[in-house]
Amino acid sequence: MADHSVFAFEPAFLARLERLRLLTRRVPAGGFKGEHRASHLGSGLEFADYRPYVEGDDVRHLDWRAYLRFDRLLLRMFEEHGDLAVYILLDCSHSMAPTPGPGGRRKFDAARRIAAALTYIALATLDRVTLAPYSGHVHQVLGPLHGSRQVWRALDYLANLDTGGETHLDRTVREVFAAGRRRGLVIVISDLLSDTTEGGLDLLLPLRHDVAVIQVTDHRDLEAPLDRDTTLVDSETGDSLRIHGAPNLLHRLEREADAHREEIRARCTARGWSFIHAPVEASFEKLALGALRRGLLSRGR
């Protein structure tokens, strides 16, 4: 039995989550019925518009009242609603949990909780969720899951994940979407501390998915005792980097982290993607109901 303590959401919090849904543009055609407005008009219940009748149209959708008034055959168009394909790419590389023990897994735990919350929301709104944890390559993909009954399966899966290896988002994107998956919403949850992040995000662009990038950060990554010469050892690659203690070095590192984040945010914004910064120091509820909602979620019901 998996340990679900990391996902110990309060019932009130869950209730608030249930009132949210993932924010996306129109859902492409080809899916199942769902709660997301489709990118095309079809046979839904909500009236959308008129258009002239052409041969082959379903005569059941002719508006006879309009015919009587305008002496023209007009066809009533309805909003189509479908489900959303949600792909959650969860970074499970070693940098997400660089040190052993519960304290060293704060980023990974936070990332899993975000993934769990988004999965919960997606399944509650009849979306199809695919969980793709990755590091150097894609681990076993779970999904697509459909229906709220799959929540426990997803949580079990997330709870059993572990960290290790290097981060290769580019390789992950190729592997996950090599089979021509349906267009949908791709959510990348990672600390983005990899040289392959930008390359991987670039690969998503031609696939025309909606993309949301959630960067999980831990301020402890920016802390190091630099009172003497230090050789930094990368937890993922094992590469060493020798530095010499200098005044304000950590402060400059913090500014560099901010600059790095803003670069990725600017890149996402330019592509119409969402970017959410999720520091582990902030409370998860505040994150989910604040930043996530502003960038990724909307009130659904």
Partner 1 sequence: MPFWIPLGVAALLVLAIYLIRPTAQALPVASTVLWRRLLAARKRRRDRLRWLLSLLLATAVAGLLSVAASRAPWLQPGGGDPIALAFDPSPTMRASLPNGGPSRIELATAEARRIVAEAEAGSRFTVNADPTPLTSAEVLALLSGTPETLSNAADTEPAIPTARRVHVFTDGIGPFTPIIDPGTETRTVSVLVPARNAGIVRFATRPPATRAAGPEALLEILATDPAGGQVPVELTVADSETIRIRRQLELQPGDRFTALIDLGSFAPGAVTARIETPGDVFPLDDRAGLIDAHAANTRTAAFSPAHRVRAPTDPWRVVVIARSPGSFAGSAAALALEADASVDVAAVRAATRADDPPPEDPLPAADIATFHRTAPAIPPAMPALYLDPPQAVAAGGLSPAAEAPLSPRRIDRIQASHPLLAGVSLLDLPVVLAARELDPRCTALASAGDRTAIAACDPASASGPRSLTIAFDLDHSSLAQRPDLAALFQNAATWLTETPATSDLITDTGLRNAVNLQADWATRINDSTLEPVPADRLGDLDGPNRRPWSWRTLALAGLLFASFEAITFFRGLTL
Per-residue burial over 30-67, b = 16 or more CB atoms within 10 Å of its CB, e = otherwise: ebeebbbbbeebeebeeeeeeeebeeeeeeeeebeeee
Query: Tokens for 197?
Result: 């992040």
* Binding of residue 62 to partner 1 (CB under 8 A): no
* Binding of residue 228 to partner 1 (CB under 8 A): yes
| Interface region with partner 1, contact rule CB under 8 A, candidates 45-53, 88-96, 277-285, 290-298 | 88-96
Residues 216 and 270: their CA atoms lie apart, in Å, by 21
| Interface region with partner 1, contact rule CB under 8 A, candidates 21-29, 140-148, 176-184, 215-223 | 215-223
- Taking CA atoms, 124 is separated from 33, 84, 121, 277, in Å, by 14, 12, 5, 24
| Cβ at position 98, least distance to partner 1 in Å | 4
Q: Residues near 53 by Cβ (< 8 Å), separated by ≥ 6?
A: 62, 73, 74, 75
Residues 211 and 34: their CA atoms lie apart, in Å, by 20
* Binding of residue 102 to partner 1 (CB under 8 A): no
Size, binding site for partner 1 by CB under 8 A: 39
* Binding of residue 256 to partner 1 (CB under 8 A): yes
The residue type found at 91 is D
- Pick between residue 99 and residue 298 the one whose CB is nearest to partner 1: 99
* Binding of residue 249 to partner 1 (CB under 8 A): yes
Q: Which of 26, 260, 267, 293 binds partner 1 (CB under 8 A)?
A: 260
Torsion, Cα 265 268 272 278, to 10 degrees, reads -60
| Cβ at position 130, least distance to partner 1 in Å | 27
Q: Site residues for partner 1, window 155-214 (CB under 8 A)?
A: 191, 193-195
| Cβ at position 281, least distance to partner 1 in Å | 15
Residues 66 and 208: their CA atoms lie apart, in Å, by 39
| Interface region with partner 1, contact rule CB under 8 A, candidates 77-85, 205-213, 239-247, 290-298 | 239-247
Q: Which of 235, 264, 287, 288 binds partner 1 (CB under 8 A)?
A: 235
User: Are the beta carbons of 118 and 88 closer than 8 angstroms?
Assistant: yes
- Pick between residue 179 and residue 241 the one whose CB is nearest to partner 1: 241
| Interface region with partner 1, contact rule CB under 8 A, candidates 56-64, 140-148, 208-216, 236-244 | 236-244
User: Are the beta carbons of 264 and 257 closer than 8 angstroms?
Assistant: no
Q: Which of 41, 48, 224, 282 binds partner 1 (CB under 8 A)?
A: 224
- Pick between residue 69 and residue 252 the one whose CB is nearest to partner 1: 252
Instruction: Specify the residue for token string 């914004």.
Output: 269
- Taking CA atoms, 103 is separated from 3, 68, 116, in Å, by 16, 73, 20
- Pick between residue 27 and residue 97 the one whose CB is nearest to partner 1: 97
Residues 261 and 190: their CA atoms lie apart, in Å, by 12
| Cβ at position 252, least distance to partner 1 in Å | 6
Contacts with partner 1 by CB under 8 A lie at 94-96, 98-99, 107, 191, 193-195, 218, 221-222, 224-225, 228-237, 239-244, 246, 249, 252-253, 256-257, 259-260
